[in-house]
Protein backbone atom coordinates (compact mmCIF):
# COMPACT_ATOMS: atom_id res chain seq x y z
CA UNK A 1 0.00 0.00 0.00
CA UNK A 2 1.29 3.43 -0.96
CA UNK A 3 1.39 6.34 1.47
CA UNK A 4 0.06 8.68 -1.23
CA UNK A 5 -1.60 8.04 -4.58
CA UNK A 6 -1.15 11.28 -6.51
CA UNK A 7 -3.49 11.88 -9.44
CA UNK A 8 -1.93 14.22 -12.01
CA UNK A 9 1.72 14.83 -12.94
CA UNK A 10 1.52 18.58 -13.49
CA UNK A 11 3.69 20.95 -11.43
CA UNK A 12 1.65 20.52 -8.23
CA UNK A 13 1.48 16.74 -8.41
CA UNK A 14 5.10 16.19 -9.36
CA UNK A 15 6.32 18.68 -6.77
CA UNK A 16 4.31 16.97 -4.05
CA UNK A 17 5.52 13.52 -5.12
CA UNK A 18 9.15 14.60 -5.22
CA UNK A 19 9.02 16.23 -1.79
CA UNK A 20 7.04 13.34 -0.32
CA UNK A 21 9.57 10.82 -1.66
CA UNK A 22 12.42 12.90 -0.26
CA UNK A 23 10.64 12.82 3.10
CA UNK A 24 10.57 9.01 3.02
CA UNK A 25 7.00 8.40 1.85
CA UNK A 26 5.98 5.92 -0.86
CA UNK A 27 4.26 7.98 -3.56
CA UNK A 28 2.55 6.76 -6.72
CA UNK A 29 1.76 9.31 -9.47
CA UNK A 30 -0.90 8.53 -12.08
CA UNK A 31 -0.98 10.71 -15.21
CA UNK A 32 -3.88 10.19 -17.61
CA UNK A 33 -1.78 10.68 -20.77
CA UNK A 34 1.79 11.66 -21.46
CA UNK A 35 3.34 14.10 -19.02
CA UNK A 36 3.12 17.70 -20.27
CA UNK A 37 0.49 17.09 -22.95
CA UNK A 38 -1.81 18.44 -24.06
CA UNK A 39 -0.51 21.93 -23.36
CA UNK A 40 -3.21 24.03 -21.71
CA UNK A 41 -1.27 26.69 -19.81
CA UNK A 42 1.03 29.60 -20.54
CA UNK A 43 4.69 29.44 -19.57
CA UNK A 44 5.04 32.97 -18.19
CA UNK A 45 6.20 32.67 -14.57
CA UNK A 46 8.04 34.59 -11.89
CA UNK A 47 11.74 33.94 -11.35
CA UNK A 48 10.77 32.11 -8.14
CA UNK A 49 10.11 29.06 -10.34
CA UNK A 50 13.76 27.98 -10.14
CA UNK A 51 13.53 27.39 -6.39
CA UNK A 52 11.15 24.50 -7.20
CA UNK A 53 13.12 22.87 -10.01
CA UNK A 54 16.16 20.59 -9.94
CA UNK A 55 19.64 21.99 -10.52
CA UNK A 56 20.33 22.89 -14.14
CA UNK A 57 16.66 23.19 -15.14
CA UNK A 58 16.94 26.88 -15.99
CA UNK A 59 19.52 26.19 -18.69
CA UNK A 60 17.19 24.10 -20.82
CA UNK A 61 13.77 25.54 -19.87
CA UNK A 62 14.34 29.31 -20.11
CA UNK A 63 13.12 30.90 -23.36
CA UNK A 64 13.06 34.62 -22.55
CA UNK A 65 13.52 37.16 -19.78
CA UNK A 66 10.80 39.74 -19.20
CA UNK A 67 11.37 43.21 -17.75
CA UNK A 68 7.81 44.51 -17.67
CA UNK A 69 4.36 44.71 -19.20
CA UNK A 70 2.63 47.18 -21.49
CA UNK A 71 -1.06 47.54 -20.60
CA UNK A 72 -3.61 48.56 -23.23
CA UNK A 73 -7.24 49.51 -22.77
CA UNK A 74 -7.80 48.85 -26.47
CA UNK A 75 -6.05 46.92 -29.24
CA UNK A 76 -2.41 46.96 -30.41
CA UNK A 77 -2.69 50.54 -31.70
CA UNK A 78 -4.06 51.92 -28.42
CA UNK A 79 -1.80 53.90 -26.04
CA UNK A 80 0.68 51.85 -24.02
CA UNK A 81 0.98 52.08 -20.25
CA UNK A 82 4.29 50.41 -19.32
CA UNK A 83 5.08 48.88 -15.93
CA UNK A 84 8.69 47.77 -15.60
CA UNK A 85 11.79 47.13 -13.52
CA UNK A 86 15.46 47.57 -14.34
CA UNK A 87 15.95 43.92 -13.41
CA UNK A 88 14.23 40.79 -14.71
CA UNK A 89 10.60 40.63 -13.58
CA UNK A 90 9.66 37.21 -14.90
CA UNK A 91 10.70 34.38 -17.19
CA UNK A 92 9.13 32.69 -20.18
CA UNK A 93 9.76 28.96 -20.07
CA UNK A 94 9.17 25.76 -22.00
CA UNK A 95 5.90 24.80 -20.31
CA UNK A 96 5.84 21.19 -21.54
CA UNK A 97 9.48 20.85 -20.59
CA UNK A 98 8.70 22.09 -17.07
CA UNK A 99 6.16 19.34 -16.49
CA UNK A 100 8.55 16.69 -17.77
CA UNK A 101 11.45 18.04 -15.72
CA UNK A 102 9.40 18.05 -12.51
CA UNK A 103 8.02 14.55 -13.17
CA UNK A 104 11.55 13.29 -13.81
CA UNK A 105 12.71 14.86 -10.55
CA UNK A 106 9.87 13.09 -8.71
CA UNK A 107 10.88 9.79 -10.27
CA UNK A 108 14.54 10.37 -9.46
CA UNK A 109 13.55 11.00 -5.82
CA UNK A 110 11.86 7.60 -5.69
CA UNK A 111 8.23 8.29 -6.65
CA UNK A 112 6.53 5.77 -8.94
CA UNK A 113 5.38 7.86 -11.93
CA UNK A 114 3.06 6.13 -14.42
CA UNK A 115 1.75 7.64 -17.63
CA UNK A 116 -1.40 6.58 -19.53
CA UNK A 117 -3.28 5.92 -16.29
CA UNK A 118 -6.64 7.71 -16.38
CA UNK A 119 -8.36 7.63 -12.99
CA UNK A 120 -12.00 6.55 -13.18
CA UNK A 121 -12.95 5.87 -9.58
CA UNK A 122 -11.89 6.83 -6.03
CA UNK A 123 -13.26 5.00 -2.98
CA UNK A 124 -12.43 6.23 0.51
CA UNK A 125 -12.44 3.71 3.34
CA UNK A 126 -11.67 4.02 7.03
CA UNK A 127 -7.97 3.16 6.81
CA UNK A 128 -7.20 3.48 3.11
CA UNK A 129 -8.41 4.66 -0.30
CA UNK A 130 -8.74 2.68 -3.53
CA UNK A 131 -7.97 4.48 -6.80
CA UNK A 132 -8.98 2.77 -10.03
CA UNK A 133 -7.42 3.78 -13.33
CA UNK A 134 -7.92 2.87 -16.95
CA UNK A 135 -4.68 1.77 -18.59
CA UNK A 136 -3.70 0.57 -22.07
CA UNK A 137 -4.00 -3.00 -20.71
CA UNK A 138 -7.40 -2.60 -19.00
CA UNK A 139 -8.11 -1.32 -15.50
CA UNK A 140 -6.05 -1.44 -12.34
CA UNK A 141 -6.81 -0.48 -8.74
CA UNK A 142 -4.18 1.01 -6.45
CA UNK A 143 -4.45 1.24 -2.68
CA UNK A 144 -3.03 4.12 -0.68
CA UNK A 145 -3.39 5.71 2.71
CA UNK A 146 -4.25 9.03 1.05
CA UNK A 147 -5.28 10.19 -2.43
CA UNK A 148 -3.97 13.55 -3.65
CA UNK A 149 -5.97 15.28 -6.37
CA UNK A 150 -3.63 17.29 -8.59
CA UNK A 151 -5.68 16.66 -11.70
CA UNK A 152 -6.52 20.18 -12.81
CA UNK A 153 -9.58 22.42 -12.93
CA UNK A 154 -11.96 19.64 -14.02
CA UNK A 155 -10.80 17.33 -11.26
CA UNK A 156 -12.05 13.75 -11.19
CA UNK A 157 -10.71 13.34 -7.66
CA UNK A 158 -12.63 16.41 -6.47
CA UNK A 159 -15.84 15.00 -7.90
CA UNK A 160 -15.24 11.49 -6.52
CA UNK A 161 -14.53 12.86 -3.04
CA UNK A 162 -17.63 15.08 -3.13
CA UNK A 163 -15.63 18.26 -2.57
CA UNK A 164 -17.04 21.66 -3.60
CA UNK A 165 -16.22 23.30 -6.92
CA UNK A 166 -14.07 26.44 -7.37
CA UNK A 167 -15.80 29.81 -7.32
CA UNK A 168 -15.73 30.04 -11.11
CA UNK A 169 -13.96 28.64 -14.16
CA UNK A 170 -12.82 30.83 -17.02
CA UNK A 171 -12.36 29.56 -20.54
CA UNK A 172 -8.91 30.16 -21.97
CA UNK A 173 -7.33 29.74 -25.38
CA UNK A 174 -3.80 30.35 -26.59
CA UNK A 175 -1.83 29.93 -29.78
CA UNK A 176 1.63 30.57 -31.15
CA UNK A 177 3.04 32.58 -34.02
CA UNK A 178 6.27 30.94 -35.19
CA UNK A 179 8.28 34.10 -35.92
CA UNK A 180 11.07 34.59 -33.38
CA UNK A 181 10.66 37.67 -31.20
CA UNK A 182 13.37 39.00 -28.90
CA UNK A 183 11.31 41.68 -27.09
CA UNK A 184 11.29 41.64 -23.32
CA UNK A 185 7.87 43.15 -22.54
CA UNK A 186 4.55 41.32 -22.48
CA UNK A 187 1.43 43.08 -23.76
CA UNK A 188 -1.78 42.95 -21.72
CA UNK A 189 -5.06 44.04 -23.32
CA UNK A 190 -8.03 44.75 -21.05
CA UNK A 191 -10.44 43.96 -23.86
CA UNK A 192 -11.75 40.49 -22.92
CA UNK A 193 -14.91 40.48 -20.77
CA UNK A 194 -13.97 40.41 -17.06
CA UNK A 195 -10.42 39.30 -17.86
CA UNK A 196 -7.77 40.10 -20.48
CA UNK A 197 -5.85 39.06 -23.58
CA UNK A 198 -2.07 38.77 -23.75
CA UNK A 199 0.92 38.66 -26.04
CA UNK A 200 4.16 37.09 -24.76
CA UNK A 201 7.48 37.12 -26.67
CA UNK A 202 9.10 33.70 -26.33
CA UNK A 203 12.42 34.43 -28.02
CA UNK A 204 13.38 31.83 -30.61
CA UNK A 205 10.20 29.88 -29.73
CA UNK A 206 8.01 32.58 -31.31
CA UNK A 207 5.21 34.65 -29.81
CA UNK A 208 2.35 33.44 -27.63
CA UNK A 209 -1.12 34.99 -27.91
CA UNK A 210 -3.83 34.17 -25.41
CA UNK A 211 -7.19 35.23 -24.03
CA UNK A 212 -9.54 34.14 -21.24
CA UNK A 213 -13.16 35.02 -20.49
CA UNK A 214 -16.09 33.73 -18.42
CA UNK A 215 -18.25 30.84 -19.69
CA UNK A 216 -20.98 31.79 -22.13
CA UNK A 217 -18.64 33.89 -24.23
CA UNK A 218 -17.39 32.68 -27.58
CA UNK A 219 -13.76 32.63 -26.50
CA UNK A 220 -12.45 31.34 -29.82
CA UNK A 221 -14.20 34.18 -31.66
CA UNK A 222 -12.75 36.72 -29.21
CA UNK A 223 -9.31 35.16 -29.69
CA UNK A 224 -9.56 35.27 -33.48
CA UNK A 225 -10.51 38.93 -33.37
CA UNK A 226 -7.62 39.66 -31.00
CA UNK A 227 -5.00 37.99 -33.21
CA UNK A 228 -6.49 39.63 -36.31
CA UNK A 229 -5.78 43.00 -34.71
CA UNK A 230 -2.13 41.96 -34.55
CA UNK A 231 -2.39 40.68 -38.13
CA UNK A 232 -0.95 37.27 -37.22
CA UNK A 233 -1.94 33.67 -37.79
CA UNK A 234 -1.35 31.28 -34.91
CA UNK A 235 -0.86 27.54 -34.82
CA UNK A 236 -0.77 24.88 -32.07
CA UNK A 237 -3.99 26.24 -30.57
CA UNK A 238 -4.61 25.09 -26.99
CA UNK A 239 -7.69 25.49 -24.80
CA UNK A 240 -8.40 24.91 -21.14
CA UNK A 241 -10.27 25.98 -18.05
CA UNK A 242 -8.86 28.40 -15.48
CA UNK A 243 -10.26 27.91 -11.94
CA UNK A 244 -10.66 31.08 -9.90
CA UNK A 245 -11.56 31.19 -6.21
CA UNK A 246 -10.68 28.26 -3.92
CA UNK A 247 -13.68 26.35 -2.52
CA UNK A 248 -14.31 26.45 1.24
CA UNK A 249 -12.86 22.96 1.64
CA UNK A 250 -10.19 21.04 -0.30
CA UNK A 251 -9.87 18.05 2.05
CA UNK A 252 -12.00 14.94 2.62
CA UNK A 253 -11.46 11.97 4.98
CA UNK A 254 -8.49 10.42 3.19
CA UNK A 255 -8.00 12.76 0.28
CA UNK A 256 -7.08 16.33 -0.54
CA UNK A 257 -6.55 18.66 -3.49
CA UNK A 258 -3.56 20.71 -4.62
CA UNK A 259 -3.04 23.19 -7.46
CA UNK A 260 -5.71 23.90 -10.06
CA UNK A 261 -7.93 21.16 -8.58
CA UNK A 262 -8.07 23.32 -5.43
CA UNK A 263 -8.22 26.59 -7.44
CA UNK A 264 -4.96 27.69 -5.83
CA UNK A 265 -4.48 30.31 -8.55
CA UNK A 266 -3.98 34.05 -8.92
CA UNK A 267 -7.41 35.60 -9.58
CA UNK A 268 -5.88 38.48 -11.55
CA UNK A 269 -3.86 36.36 -14.00
CA UNK A 270 -5.18 32.80 -13.64
CA UNK A 271 -1.64 31.49 -13.14
CA UNK A 272 -1.28 28.75 -10.57
CA UNK A 273 2.10 27.07 -11.04
CA UNK A 274 3.84 28.74 -8.09
CA UNK A 275 0.79 28.76 -5.81
CA UNK A 276 0.18 25.07 -6.48
CA UNK A 277 3.77 24.05 -5.77
CA UNK A 278 3.80 26.22 -2.65
CA UNK A 279 0.67 24.41 -1.43
CA UNK A 280 2.30 21.07 -2.30
CA UNK A 281 5.20 21.88 0.01
CA UNK A 282 2.77 22.76 2.80
CA UNK A 283 1.01 19.42 2.25
CA UNK A 284 4.23 17.41 2.58
CA UNK A 285 5.15 19.25 5.77
CA UNK A 286 1.74 18.90 7.43
CA UNK A 287 -0.04 15.73 6.22
CA UNK A 288 0.65 12.41 7.93
CA UNK A 289 -0.84 9.66 5.74
CA UNK A 290 -1.53 7.59 8.87
CA UNK A 291 -3.50 10.42 10.52
CA UNK A 292 -6.41 11.99 8.59
CA UNK A 293 -6.67 14.61 11.32
CA UNK A 294 -3.55 16.27 9.91
CA UNK A 295 -5.48 17.28 6.78
CA UNK A 296 -6.84 20.17 8.81
CA UNK A 297 -3.25 21.31 9.31
CA UNK A 298 -2.80 21.40 5.54
CA UNK A 299 -5.97 23.48 5.10
CA UNK A 300 -4.73 25.99 7.65
CA UNK A 301 -1.16 26.13 6.32
CA UNK A 302 -1.82 26.82 2.66
CA UNK A 303 -4.67 29.25 3.35
CA UNK A 304 -2.56 31.15 5.87
CA UNK A 305 0.19 31.52 3.27
CA UNK A 306 -1.92 32.37 0.19
CA UNK A 307 -5.19 33.76 1.58
CA UNK A 308 -4.27 37.45 1.50
CA UNK A 309 -2.62 37.21 -1.91
CA UNK A 310 -5.72 35.56 -3.37
CA UNK A 311 -8.04 38.07 -1.70
CA UNK A 312 -6.02 41.03 -3.02
CA UNK A 313 -5.91 39.33 -6.42
CA UNK A 314 -9.71 39.42 -6.56
CA UNK A 315 -9.62 43.17 -5.94
CA UNK A 316 -7.07 43.66 -8.73
CA UNK A 317 -9.27 41.71 -11.11
CA UNK A 318 -12.22 43.99 -10.42
CA UNK A 319 -10.31 46.74 -12.18
CA UNK A 320 -10.65 44.78 -15.44
CA UNK A 321 -14.38 45.58 -15.48
CA UNK A 322 -14.13 49.31 -14.74
CA UNK A 323 -15.19 51.78 -17.45
CA UNK A 324 -12.46 52.33 -20.04
CA UNK A 325 -12.08 55.98 -19.05
CA UNK A 326 -11.39 54.99 -15.44
CA UNK A 327 -8.95 52.26 -16.51
CA UNK A 328 -7.07 54.75 -18.66
CA UNK A 329 -6.76 57.30 -15.85
CA UNK A 330 -5.63 54.62 -13.40
CA UNK A 331 -3.05 53.11 -15.73
CA UNK A 332 -1.69 56.53 -16.62
CA UNK A 333 -1.32 57.41 -12.95
CA UNK A 334 0.33 54.16 -11.86
CA UNK A 335 2.51 53.27 -14.86
CA UNK A 336 6.25 53.54 -14.69
CA UNK A 337 8.93 51.76 -12.68
CA UNK A 338 7.50 49.31 -10.14
CA UNK A 339 8.59 47.32 -7.11
CA UNK A 340 5.85 44.71 -7.37
CA UNK A 341 6.28 40.92 -7.41
CA UNK A 342 4.06 39.27 -10.03
CA UNK A 343 2.93 36.49 -7.65
CA UNK A 344 2.26 38.69 -4.63
CA UNK A 345 -0.28 41.53 -4.96
CA UNK A 346 0.58 42.49 -1.38
CA UNK A 347 3.95 43.72 -2.70
CA UNK A 348 2.05 46.73 -4.09
CA UNK A 349 2.28 48.02 -0.53
CA UNK A 350 5.97 47.17 -0.14
CA UNK A 351 8.46 49.86 0.80
CA UNK A 352 10.22 49.41 -2.55
CA UNK A 353 7.07 49.94 -4.61
CA UNK A 354 5.74 52.81 -2.51
CA UNK A 355 9.11 54.55 -2.83
CA UNK A 356 8.90 54.28 -6.62
CA UNK A 357 5.35 55.67 -6.61
CA UNK A 358 6.44 58.64 -4.50
CA UNK A 359 9.25 59.40 -6.93
CA UNK A 360 6.68 59.86 -9.69
CA UNK A 361 4.32 61.96 -7.57
Confidence at residue 356, expressed as pLDDT on a 0 to 100 scale: 66
The burial class, CB within 10 Å (0-12 / 13-18 / 19+), for 330 is middle
DSSP state of 278: H
Helix, strand or coil, per DSSP, at residue 32: coil
Supply the pLDDT for residue 360.
Answer: 64
SS (H, E, C) 194-257: CCCEEEEECECCCEEEEEEECCCCCHHHHHHHHHHHCCCCCEEEEEEEEEECCCCCCECCCEEE
pLDDT at position 321, please? Answer: 93
pLDDT in tens, the chain (361 residues): 999 999 999 999 999 999 999 999 999 999 999 999 888 788 999 999 999 999 999 999 999 999 999 999 999 999 999 999 999 999 999 999 999 999 999 999 999 999 999 999 999 999 999 999 999 999 999 999 999 999 999 999 999 999 999 999 999 999 999 887 779 999 999 999 999 999 999 998 899 999 999 988 789 999 999 999 999 999 888 889 999 999 999 999 999 999 999 999 999 999 999 999 999 999 999 999 999 999 999 999 999 999 999 999 999 999 999 999 999 999 998 899 888 888 988 887 777 766 766 676 6
Global pTM?
0.95
Query: Which one, of 302, 247, 250, 256, lies nearest residue 279 by Cα?
Result: 302
Domains of the chain: 2-319 (3.50.50.60)
Q: Max alpha carbon distance in the chain (Å)? A: 67
Q: What distance in Å separates the CA atoms of residue 186 and residue 346, rounded to the nearest whole number?
A: 22
Amino acid sequence: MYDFVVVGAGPAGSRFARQAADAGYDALVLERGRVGTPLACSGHVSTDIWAFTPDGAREHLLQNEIYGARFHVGGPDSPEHPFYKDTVVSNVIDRVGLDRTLARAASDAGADVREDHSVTDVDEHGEYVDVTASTPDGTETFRGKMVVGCDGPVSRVRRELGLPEPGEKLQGVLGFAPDAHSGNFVDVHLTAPRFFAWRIPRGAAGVEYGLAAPPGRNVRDLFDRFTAEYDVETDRLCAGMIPIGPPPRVTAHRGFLIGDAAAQTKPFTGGGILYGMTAADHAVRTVDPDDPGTLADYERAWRRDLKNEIRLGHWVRRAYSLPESVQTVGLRALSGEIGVHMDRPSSFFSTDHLRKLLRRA
